[in-house]
Amino acid sequence: EAFTLGKLSCEGKTKLVYDINSTTPGRCLIVSKDTITAGNGAKKNIMEGKAEMSTSTNASAMQILNDVGIKTSFIKVCKRSRTFAWKCHMIPIEWVIRRVATGSFIRRNVGVKEGYRFAPPKLETFFKDDENDDPQWGREVLEEAKLKCGDIEITSHLIDMMEKMSVTIFEVMEKAWQTKDVSLIDMKIEFGIRCDTNEVILADVIDNDSWRIWPSGDKRLMKDKQVYRNLKTITNNDMKNLKENYSWVSEQLGEVAESFRDQTKSTTVAIFMGSPKDMAHCNSIKASCSDLGVNCTLHVSSNGLGPVISGNTVLPVINCPPPSPQWCTADIWSSLRLPSGLGCATLLDPQAAALCSAQILAQRNPAVWARLRVKQMKNFLDLKQSNAELKQ
């Protein structure tokens, strides 16, 4: 879609954001810079190619999150260092999620040894204020601040939502990096209020400045911006090493993003029905599986399917008998009363059968695991929203 560049909306240390004029309203253009900084800009260098590598890394991270159901501001890459995104009123809070204690956390929490593992992940919030070094805000301070972004006030309800989203986003990216034997130690993210829908979504960017990652869980092998922070003086060889790190991260995460998509294509559940009359019931199971990134094949066989199949395979079998007038008096017993040596499960709801299938596959399939984790988050958010609407 054709567009013309509008005014500069805002400029940060590593990117510029422009309004754009096009048929589709509510979008902006993010332009990355070849700049690397630390200490809120006190330390600054030019790294040739960083803009392109950061754009690529962000695109891969956002693709993973979009594919599994997280709402983000990312639309697509326009050029090598430019990204289309949904325009947002940014919430001036950095959400930091930690799996392992290191860095500023152990400096602020004397007595906690480096390497302490948080389970569940530790969540901290910092108010974005460069002049005061981004002070940490507790939950109470955040609630009492009554921040307003656009026409939306950041209430305790929205804070609950962003807390849940933050941990889920971290765990999805943690699972993604694990496929490369890389430990995601911590990461920072930001949220915004999407201007055209007033939804709270993941905004800004996620690139190699956003996290700590340790290949094989070894701090000595770190590939993120902490390498730059640790440098006392910066030589040409240092900059070359940094560039190689950022390039490696961009390439590896790109492979992970493609792998996530390939995994959903290669995962299959076979659905057997007694006759074509059961097609609507089986299509309901298929649709629910598809929502969880699981492909299905449909087959017509014979009656008594579950126990017969279970006796002839080492794979898990789930019975999901279609409802009928004889269901409660006769049909259900063929699935529940099994001969010895058989172990198939029985679920009555098509969505529950699909969910159970996905949970089995998720043990070895990170992409399906991520979709299930996001579904869990959405269930929580839906309940919170319904409860909030009742109180209005």
**In this model, does residue 327 exceed pLDDT 70?**
no
Residue 9: inside a domain: no
pLDDT in tens, 90-110: 999 999 999 999 999 999 999
Give me the number of domains the chain comprises. 2
Residue spans of beta strands (DSSP E) within 128-181: 136-137, 148-149, 152-153
Please tell me whether residues 110 and 193 are part of one structural domain.
Answer: yes
Q: Say if 137 falls within a structural domain.
A: yes
- Residue 329 clears pLDDT 60, i.e. is over it: no
Structure tokens at 306: 């579950």
| Nearest CA among 125, 63, 66, 60 for reference residue 91 | 125
**Can you read off the two tokens belonging to residue 391?**
């109180």
Could you tell me if 247 and 218 lie in one domain? yes
Q: Go through 309-336 and write b for each residue having 16 or more CB atoms within 10 A of its CB, e for each that does not.
A: bbeeeeeebbbbbbeeeeeeeeebebbe
Q: Residue 330: pLDDT above 60? A: no
Residues 6+ positions from 92 with CB-CB distance below 8 Å: 127, 128, 129, 147
Assess whether 196 and 331 both reside in one domain: no
Q: Where are the beta strands (DSSP E) in the chain?
A: 3-11, 15-22, 27-32, 35-38, 43-46, 74-79, 82-86, 88-90, 93-100, 117-127, 136-137, 148-149, 152-153, 182-194, 200-203, 211-215, 268-273, 295-300, 318-319, 345-346
Q: Does 382 fall in a domain? A: no
Asked if the structure places residue 300 within a domain, the reply is yes
6 occurs within a structural domain: no
* 259 lies in the same domain as 283: no
What's the confidence (pLDDT) of residue 331?
A: 65
φ/ψ of 348, rounded to 5, equals: -90, -25
Domain CATH number, residue 260: 3.30.470.20
Is residue 248 located within the same domain as residue 310?
Answer: no
Claim to verify: residue 111 and residue 248 sit in the same structural domain: yes
d(CA 46, CA 39): 15
Question: Do both 241 and 155 map to the same domain?
Answer: yes
Pairing of strands 15-22, 295-300: unpaired
pLDDT digits (tens, 9 = 90+) for 40-74: 878 999 999 999 999 999 999 999 999 999 999 99
Residues 109 and 200 in one domain: yes
pLDDT in tens, 259-298: 998 887 778 999 999 899 999 999 999 999 999 999 999 9
Query: How far is the C-alpha of 338 from the C-alpha of 86, rounded, in Å?
Result: 55
Given 264, 289, 320, the domain boundary residue is 264
**Residues 234 and 272 occupy one common structural domain:** no
Give the model confidence (pLDDT) of 290-326 as tens digits. 999 999 999 998 776 888 899 999 999 999 988 876 6
What is the pLDDT confidence band of residue 12, given thresholds at 50, 70 and 90? very high
Residue where a domain stops, chosen among 238, 264, 290: 264
Task: Return the structure tokens found at 348.
Answer: 């009555």
Same domain, 101 and 243: yes
- Domain extent, residue 338, equals 268-364
11-16 contacts: CB < 8 A, separation 24 or more? 13/37, 13/41, 13/44, 14/50, 14/54, 14/209, 15/205
Q: Quick: pLDDT tens for 111-133.
A: 999 999 999 999 999 999 988 99
Q: What mean pLDDT comes out for the span 197-221?
A: 97
Q: Which of 215, 246, 264 is the last residue of a domain?
A: 264
Tell me the pairing of strands 295-300 and 268-273.
Answer: parallel
Q: Residue 349's domain is classified under what CATH number?
A: 3.40.50.1970
Residue 149 lies in a domain: yes
- 254 with 274, same domain: the answer is no
Contact 186, 212 (CB under 8 A): yes
DSSP codes joined into one string, 182-199 = EEEEEEEEEEEEETTT--
Within a domain: 32: no
Are residue 103 and residue 248 in the same domain, yes or no?
Answer: yes
Is residue 143 in a domain? yes
pTM for this prediction: 0.93
In the chain, the percentage of residues whose pLDDT exceeds 70 is 98
Q: Which two tokens stand for residue 43?
A: 């330390």
Quote the mean pLDDT of the chain: 94
At 360, the amino acid letter reads I
